[in-house]
């Protein structure tokens, strides 16, 4: 009995191990196959940044759109006392760098309103009329009288944040009051300027219930674009699920317009007074850098047309998260970690820059990368294939299993490959890869962990686009799931059978003492 | 295999099954953070039903225990495979959206891991009846999970891959050893650790016992939940997890404290050939001592989190919280081990451990709540009320139970023969 069970166990192990070893060596396939364009998505001007005032840095980063509040209280400083200097300068600065603005029409104006004395709530007829007057003045100035330069306008910011009748909060009225305001505002604008593109209030988070209520209240009538702010802490691997939730609400209400992300990001605040803050600050900076490629790849691959990174630059309060979301260090930051002490851009700025300069006007191909799908580790490799207008390829890749590093390899008929990877993402600093020239092109070997790696693959002029065959080696992860754990389970079952196969558990009433 | 090996296998199985449960429950916050209402129901339902089903089977078919254990292992391994391959890795404490079936399978993994821990605890309690050195066994067993979880945290980079992989590995290893060491008689009958007659004979009969243990369990669960939850609440998981191994390693020190108390009080209680009255009185003293110790430890540890600037998230906080949790768990088992009911021996322990497991899972869920510093301060503002309630219950219990104890002690002093009756 024991011998037969041992033979059974041994043969079971061999049955598992041999096919795996055989198939591992069989995965090496380097023949370039033509690109399958099924489901391809064209990427057009998705790179935007919030609260940006330095137009040179924006242009350097590749920012195309500047999202910024054109607040009612700053614009109308007393009834019909209009102030435009700030926004005139902004529009001029953006035009000089071939950028556009996404103004946010938002917040209350206690200098003009009569219906409330606190917070941000517009619900009386008088206040609504005053609000619409302000909205019209803005659009007349920067759209109608400016050769339609500012075409996209966002209606309010995060109206789902704020308590009813509170002193502060982005919206302090009821949800119904906000929905009514958005509905009337959109109806007014679309009637006067049918070509203006209206963006719904970017809600904080992606709350499908709030969005559903917004549609149900008719607030999306005459609104062209749906916006939301899917902040996700320090890990954006779940962004696609949130986008799908938002898409689900849109489908329910037959909304076919674009979906935009008008705020997203993660702050790098730290406490300079705490012991060891340097390491924490550096770790946060490097973690933030990994977030940017994940956001853009997952968003663009899921059909999001516009992503505003919140925000461009840091400010001086290092402990306040709101002032540390930026892609750019505060100009007088004395605490920059040693590897970045001479940098203007944070590591996240470097990732933003390389993506913005290469993904703009590219095409995303969902079937651009083929992986060795039979290995358990393969589905965790997230890979995104973008074909640039000049024929070059951008491959962004990371391992969604945050705990392990996977060695990958691919060969392309390329003329050169640049690699950008953590921790700094600065050009020329990546060390996790190896290039080898061969007869069929360049073979790239790299170690992929949870930090995205960006491969810029220069293809020969006129070359037909080809699929990337991404080979992943047989790792400890695969070994564990395919061999070690099943082996231990089998061992346990065998021991159990050897011990209890002939036992009579109900046969005797007599209990046995040890 | 000799009975010494079997005792060792019981201790190892107890420690490793506890470790497996702690490992798989560690990242529950990442799963439940963005969970839907139906997902919550699915999670609670499966997490409730699976261990309860095992308790029910424990009542009916104790002799089928090895088969039951291997079935639970199959459920655990199967659901773990699904979670490991299908679920995104919760590195960085990210929230995910899952469908009801996935949540149900995740709950099956949790529930089956907890079930194995429950069965192993019942075995451990039975072993305690047979071996006077049981507090040392208990301490050894409870030290294992702390060390294994700490190792998993150090090994991983914030995700759950290594946690799950380790849990999936140690469960079959543990059960293999357990089955291999399992004694059978000449007729190959399945060995029963505790005969029903013996169970009844050694039970402590006390009218208030059920109520006392229920209160003790409620307070213990609340303290475990608070300690695990507050330790991680509002912390940035990307950095918190790098320090959290200290928490789990330190549980061993707390376990040591509990074991010392057990050695001094509960060990004698378990073995003493005394009257039921005296055993009941001693059990109550042991119970009250453990209650006071754990409530005070919890209040001190949580107050430090609230009051001392820069303490939260520090190595010191991790260690103090870990020691507190370790002592709470050890004291809990030390108190409940001698106090089973006359008949439902095995289901009693399984049932009691179920609540502790549930509290640990909820604590791990609480720590994943995303809070800002001000949100944390607001949430933590409720803690003094919790302290006040616990303190009031404790004071009431001490007064309520000490008065009859005092009178019975006086009666015993006046009439020493009563001890031998």
All residues at 6 or more sequence positions from B53 whose CB lies less than 8 Å from its CB, including other chains: none
Q: Fold for domain B3-180+204-415?
A: Growth Hormone; Chain: A; (1.20.1250)
CB contact under 8 A, B85 and A481: yes
Hey, is the C-beta of B275 within 8 angstroms of any chain A C-beta? no
CB contact under 8 A, A238 and B88: yes
pLDDT at position A507 is 43
Structure tokens at B128: 């305690």
Q: Which of A499, A501, A502, A510 to mutate to test the interface with B (most CBs of B within 10 A)?
A: A499
Cα A315–chain centre separation = 23
DSSP percent split of chain B into helix, strand, coil, nearest 5: 80, 0, 20
B:379-398 residues touching chain A, CB 8 A cutoff: none
A6 in Cβ contact with A473 (< 8 Å): no
CATH of domain A31-39+363-474: 2.60.40
* CATH superfamily ID and name for A47-123+152-359: Glycosidases (3.20.20.80)
CB contact under 8 A, B180 and A495: yes
Q: What is the pTM of this model?
A: 0.79
Which of B161, B165, B185 lies nearest to residue A512, judging by beta carbons?
B185
Nearest CA in chain B to A281: B239
| Dist CA A203 CA A212 (whole Å) | 12
Nearest CA in chain B to A483: B169
Structure tokens at A478: 């695969």
- What is the per-residue pLDDT across B31-82, written as a single tens digit (0 to 9) for each? 787 777 888 888 889 999 999 988 888 766 667 888 899 999 999 999 999 8
DSSP state of A293: H
**How do the domains of chain A map onto residue ranges?**
1-30+487-514, 31-39+363-474, 47-123+152-359
pLDDT at position B244 is 87
From chain B, the residues in CB contact with A506 under 8 A are: 63-64
| Dist CA A160 CA A186 (whole Å) | 18
- What is the per-residue pLDDT across B291-338, written as a single tens digit (0 to 9) for each? 888 888 998 998 888 778 778 888 899 999 999 999 999 999 988 887
From chain B, the residues in CB contact with A500 under 8 A are: 66-67, 179, 182, 190
B190 in Cβ contact with B63 (< 8 Å): yes
All residues at 6 or more sequence positions from B291 whose CB lies less than 8 Å from its CB, including other chains: B216, B219, B394, B397
Which of B180, B237, B310 lies nearest to residue A499, judging by beta carbons?
B180
Structure tokens at A14: 């061999």
ipTM summary value: 0.86
pLDDT values of chain B reduced to their tens digit, one per residue, 421 residues: 467 888 999 999 999 999 999 999 998 887 787 777 888 888 889 999 999 988 888 766 667 888 899 999 999 999 999 888 887 775 555 556 677 888 899 999 999 999 999 999 988 988 887 788 888 899 999 999 999 999 999 888 777 888 999 999 999 999 999 999 988 766 555 555 566 566 566 666 666 677 778 888 999 999 999 999 888 887 766 667 778 899 999 999 999 988 887 777 776 666 655 566 777 777 777 788 888 888 889 989 988 887 787 788 888 999 999 999 999 999 999 888 877 776 677 888 888 999 999 999 999 988 877 666 667 777 777 878 888 888 888 888 777 777 666 665 555 555 544 443 3
- What is the per-residue pLDDT across A349-388, written as a single tens digit (0 to 9) for each? 999 999 999 999 999 999 999 986 677 777 788 999 999 9
CA angle B142, B268, B5 (to 5 degrees): 45
| Dist CA A449 CA B157 (whole Å) | 10
CB contact under 8 A, B192 and A450: no
Could you tell me the CA-to-CA distances from B394 to B167, B380, B389 in Å, in that order? Answer: 37, 21, 8
* Distance between first and last Cα of chain A: 25
d(CA A503, nearest CA chain B) in Å: 5
CB contact under 8 A, B70 and A496: yes
CB contact under 8 A, B189 and A514: no
Could you tell me the CA-to-CA distances from B406 to A260, A294, B177, B409 in Å, in that order? Answer: 73, 68, 48, 5
All residues at 6 or more sequence positions from B197 whose CB lies less than 8 Å from its CB, including other chains: none
| Dist CA A173 CA A109 (whole Å) | 14
pLDDT class of A22 with cuts at 50, 70, 90? very low
B:299-338 residues touching chain A, CB 8 A cutoff: 310
CB contact under 8 A, A492 and B179: yes
């Amino acid at each position: 009995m024991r011998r037969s069970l041992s033979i059974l166990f041994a043969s079971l192990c061999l049955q598992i191990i041999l096919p795996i070893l055989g198939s591992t060596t069989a995965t090496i396939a380097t023949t370039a196959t033509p690109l399958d364009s099924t489901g391809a998505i064209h990427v057009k001007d998705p790179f935007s940044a919030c609260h940006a005032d330095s137009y040179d840095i924006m242009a350097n980063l590749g920012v195309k759109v500047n999202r910024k509040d054109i607040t009612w209280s700053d614009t109308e400083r007393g009834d019909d006392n209009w102030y435009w200097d700030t926004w005139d300068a902004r529009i001029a600065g953006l035009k000089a760098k071939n950028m556009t603005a996404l103004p946010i029409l938002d917040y209350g104006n206690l200098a003009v309103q009569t219906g409330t004395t606190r917070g941000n709530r517009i619900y009386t007829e008088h206040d609504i009329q005053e609000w619409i007057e302000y909205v019209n003045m803005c659009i007349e100035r920067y759209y109608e009288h400016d050769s339609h330069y500012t075409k996209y306008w966002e209606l309010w910011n995060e109206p789902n944040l704020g308590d009813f009748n509170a002193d502060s909060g982005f919206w302090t009225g009821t949800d119904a009051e906000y929905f009514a305001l958005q509905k009337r505002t959109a109806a007014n604008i679309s009637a006067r300027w049918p070509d203006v593109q209206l963006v719904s209030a970017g809600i904080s988070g992606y709350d499908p219930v709030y969005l559903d209520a917004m549609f149900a209240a008719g607030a999306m009538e005459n609104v062209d674009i749906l916006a939301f702010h899917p902040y996700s802490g320090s890990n954006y691997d779940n962004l696609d699920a949130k986008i799908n939730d938002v898409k689900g609400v849109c489908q329910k209400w037959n909304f076919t317009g674009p979906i935009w992300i008008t705020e997203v990001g993660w702050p790098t605040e730290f406490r300079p007074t705490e012991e060891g803050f340097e390491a924490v600050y550096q770790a946060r900076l490097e973690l933030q850098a990994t977030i940017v490629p994940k956001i853009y790849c997952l968003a663009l691959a899921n059909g999001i047309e516009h992503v505003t990174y919140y925000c461009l630059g840091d400010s001086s309060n290092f402990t306040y998260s709101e002032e540390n979301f930026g892609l750019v260090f505060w100009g007088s930051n004395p605490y920059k970690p040693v590897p970045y002490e001479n940098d203007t851009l944070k590591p996240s700025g470097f990732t933003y820059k390389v993506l913005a300069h290469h993904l703009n006007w590219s095409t995303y191909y969902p079937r651009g990368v083929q992986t060795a799908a039979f290995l358990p580790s393969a589905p965790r490799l997230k890979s995104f294939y973008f074909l640039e207008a000049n024929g070059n390829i951008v491959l962004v890749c990371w391992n969604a299993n945050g705990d392990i590093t996977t060695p990958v390899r691919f060969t392309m008929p390329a003329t050169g490959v640049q690699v950008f990877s953590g921790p700094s993402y600065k050009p020329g600093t990546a060390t996790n890869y190896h290039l080898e020239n061969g007869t069929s092109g360049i073979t790239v070997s790299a170690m992929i962990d949870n930090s995205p790696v960006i491969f810029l693959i220069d293809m020969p002029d006129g070359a037909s686009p080809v699929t990337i065959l991404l080979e992943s080696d047989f790792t400890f992860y695969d070994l564990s799931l395919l061999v070690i754990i099943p082996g231990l389970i089998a061992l346990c079952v065998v021991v159990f059978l050897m011990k209890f196969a002939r036992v009579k558990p109900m046969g005797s009433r007599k209990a046995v003492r040890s | 295999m000799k009975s010494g090996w079997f005792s060792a296998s019981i201790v190892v199985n107890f420690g490793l099954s506890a470790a497996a449960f702690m490992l798989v429950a560690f990242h529950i916050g990442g799963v439940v953070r963005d969970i839907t209402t139906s997902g919550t129901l699915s999670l609670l339902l499966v997490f409730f039903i699976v261990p309860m089903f095992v308790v029910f089977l424990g009542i009916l078919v104790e002799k089928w225990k090895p088969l039951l254990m291997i079935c639970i292992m199959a459920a655990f391994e199967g659901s773990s495979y699904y979670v490991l391959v299908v679920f995104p890795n919760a590195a960085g404490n990210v929230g995910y959206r899952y469908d009801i079936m996935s949540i149900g399978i995740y709950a099956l993994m949790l529930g089956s891991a907890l079930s194995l821990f429950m069965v192993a605890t019942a075995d451990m309690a039975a072993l305690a009846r047979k071996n006077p050195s049981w507090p040392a066994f208990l301490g050894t067993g409870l030290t294992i999970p702390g060390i294994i979880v700490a190792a998993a945290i150090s090994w991983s980079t914030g995700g759950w891959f290594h946690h799950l992989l380790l849990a999936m590995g140690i469960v079959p290893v543990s059960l293999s050893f357990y089955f291999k060491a399992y004694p059978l008689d000449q007729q190959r009958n399945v060995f029963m650790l505790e005969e029903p007659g013996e169970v009844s004979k050694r039970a402590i009969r006390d009218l208030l016992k059920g109520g006392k243990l229920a209160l003790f369990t409620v307070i213990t669960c609340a303290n475990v939940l608070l300690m695990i939850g507050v330790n991680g609440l509002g912390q940035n998981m990307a950095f918190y997890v790098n320090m959290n191994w200290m928490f789990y390693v330190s549980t061993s020190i707390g376990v040591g404290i509990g074991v010392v108390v057990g050695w001094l009080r509960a060990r004698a209680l378990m073995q003493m050939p005394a009257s039921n009255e005296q055993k009941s009185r001693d059990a109550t003293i042991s119970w009250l001592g453990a209650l006071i110790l754990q409530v005070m430890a919890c209040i001190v540890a949580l107050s430090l989190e609230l009051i001392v600037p820069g303490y939260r998230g520090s190595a010191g906080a991790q260690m103090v919280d870990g020691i507190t949790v370790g002592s709470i768990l050890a004291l809990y088992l030390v108190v409940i081990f001698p106090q089973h009911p006359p008949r439902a021996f095995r289901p009693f322990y399984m049932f009691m451990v179920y609540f502790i497991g549930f509290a640990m899972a909820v604590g791990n869920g609480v720590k994943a709540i995303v809070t800002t510093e001000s949100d944390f301060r607001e949430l933590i503002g409720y803690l003094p009320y919790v302290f006040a309630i616990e303190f009031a219950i404790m004071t009431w219990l001490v007064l309520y139970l000490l008065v009859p104890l005092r009178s019975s002690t006086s009666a015993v002093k006046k009439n020493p023969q009563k001890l031998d009756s």
